[in-house]
């Protein structure tokens, strides 16, 4: 029996090293298989938009969408630290049932599941970023992940109420990311005054935008509807598309600001969680009936506007709360990043 003063025998160290090496190789192979499966499923889902020169079965796009749904749901739950096997099996049964049965209600539900899993995964798959270039890199990863989910939703090719789907996906994904922020960010006691003010302001802004849109559709007078439509048409004529207001003004700026804040403070997750507002809009942007070019251009404008506003908020936050003087700011940037699990590991 070893005591705390005895060194372990060389054989034990060698065995431990082999076990760790074997575990690393197994993880690498597993994630390689998952990545290849996702790429193959994405290629199949893209046949919804691009017809290849060779013939393919009619259900190719939906099969690809189902496979993407399984991968997205499984990886999202794994990153959240949940029961990955249970979530993957549930998504597999639901998506497989939608493809085999063709039931519209089931297909619509699975499409909503894919969009929600994507919106959450796009946020939680990111890593803290301390420099502008790293922030942009993580931002691109989040947007790219959301676009993959948008392809999956579109590949199901099922008629859905776009506004209802967008609101449901936004609310569920936001609740999930806020729950994660509560677990990682030290709970409500660790949010701090600044975090509480930012979170409350974001919630009020989101609720106001959703309530205003619903009130405009239901009770607005014809004059107000015509004025709003004229404004939207004017923006579309000038830019070619209309940015998503919640994503461009709330979701994406919060994601950029949160990525930078997470590098030093775990409370940055409370800001980063609202990035789900932007990724949810991207994930539901290609629903059946949407103009693909208009949706993609609108997403591009939202992403660019959100990136600029996010950097402005980051800079303003640094000026108001950061250290004074160039040397102090340089020392602040030189501090090590707050540790977070690797991208392929659970966050908690």
More confident residue, 85 or 189: 85
pLDDT confidence of 179, banded at 50, 70, 90?
very high
pLDDT of 215-270, one tens digit each? Answer: 777 776 677 777 777 777 787 878 888 888 899 999 999 999 999 988 888 888 99
In this structure, what token pair is assigned to residue 324?
């004074």
Angle between helices 104-124 and 84-101 (to 10 degrees): 150
Closest CA to 298 of 253, 235, 348: 235
CA terminus-to-terminus distance, the chain: 34
Measured CA to CA, the distance from residue 44 to residue 65 in angstroms comes to 8
Look at residue 338 in the predicted model and tell me its pLDDT. 73
Measured CA to CA, the distance from residue 309 to residue 162 in angstroms comes to 27
More confident residue, 186 or 146: 146
pLDDT of 13-57, one tens digit each? Answer: 566 666 777 778 888 899 999 999 999 999 999 998 888 877 788
Measured CA to CA, the distance from residue 345 to residue 84 in angstroms comes to 12
Measured CA to CA, the distance from residue 150 to residue 283 in angstroms comes to 4
Look at residue 2 in the predicted model and tell me its pLDDT. 47
Q: Dihedral of CA 146/151/156/158: which sign? A: positive
pLDDT of 263-300, one tens digit each? Answer: 888 888 999 999 999 999 999 999 877 788 889 999 99
pLDDT of 88-135, one tens digit each? Answer: 999 999 999 999 998 999 999 999 999 999 999 999 999 998 889 999
CA separation, residue 146 to residues 39, 108, 150, 330 (Å): 14, 18, 6, 34
């Amino acid at each position: 029996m070893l005591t705390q003063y005895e060194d372990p025998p060389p054989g034990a160290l060698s065995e431990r090293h082999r076990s760790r090496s074997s575990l690393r190789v197994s993880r690498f192979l597993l994630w390689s298989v998952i990545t290849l499966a996702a790429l193959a499923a994405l290629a199949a889902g893209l046949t919804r938009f691009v017809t290849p020169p060779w013939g393919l079965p009619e259900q190719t796009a939906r099969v690809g969408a189902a496979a993407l749904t399984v991968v997205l749901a499984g990886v999202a739950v794994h990153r959240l630290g949940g029961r990955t096997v249970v979530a993957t099996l549930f998504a597999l049964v639901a998506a497989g049932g939608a493809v085999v049965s063709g039931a519209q209600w089931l297909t619509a539900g699975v499409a909503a599941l894919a969009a929600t899993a994507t919106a959450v995964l796009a946020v939680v798959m990111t890593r803290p970023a301390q420099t502008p270039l790293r922030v942009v890199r993580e931002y691109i990863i989040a947007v790219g992940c959301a676009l993959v989910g948008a392809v999956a939703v579109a590949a199901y090719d099922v008629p859905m109420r776009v506004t209802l789907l967008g609101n449901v996906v936004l609310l569920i994904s936001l609740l999930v990311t806020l729950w994660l922020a509560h677990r990682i960010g030290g709970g409500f006691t660790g949010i701090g005054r600044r975090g509480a003010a930012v979170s409350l302001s974001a919630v009020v802004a989101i609720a106001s935008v959703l309530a205003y849109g619903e009130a405009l559709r239901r009770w607005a007078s014809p004059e107000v509807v015509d004025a709003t439509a004229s404004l939207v048409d004017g923006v579309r004529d000038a830019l070619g598309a209309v940015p998503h207001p919640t994503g461009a003004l709330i979701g994406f700026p919060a994601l950029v600001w949160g990525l930078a804040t997470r590098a030093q403070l775990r409370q940055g997750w409370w800001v980063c969680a609202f990035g789900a507002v932007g990724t949810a809009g991207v994930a539901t942007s290609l629903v059946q009936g949407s103009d693909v070019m208009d949706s993609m251009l609108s997403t591009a404008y939202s992403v660019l506007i959100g990136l600029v506003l996010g950097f402005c908020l980051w800079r303003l936050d640094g000026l108001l709360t950061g250290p004074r003087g160039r040397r102090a700011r340089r020392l602040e940037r030189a501090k090590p990043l707050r540790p977070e699990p690797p991208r392929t590991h659970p966050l908690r």
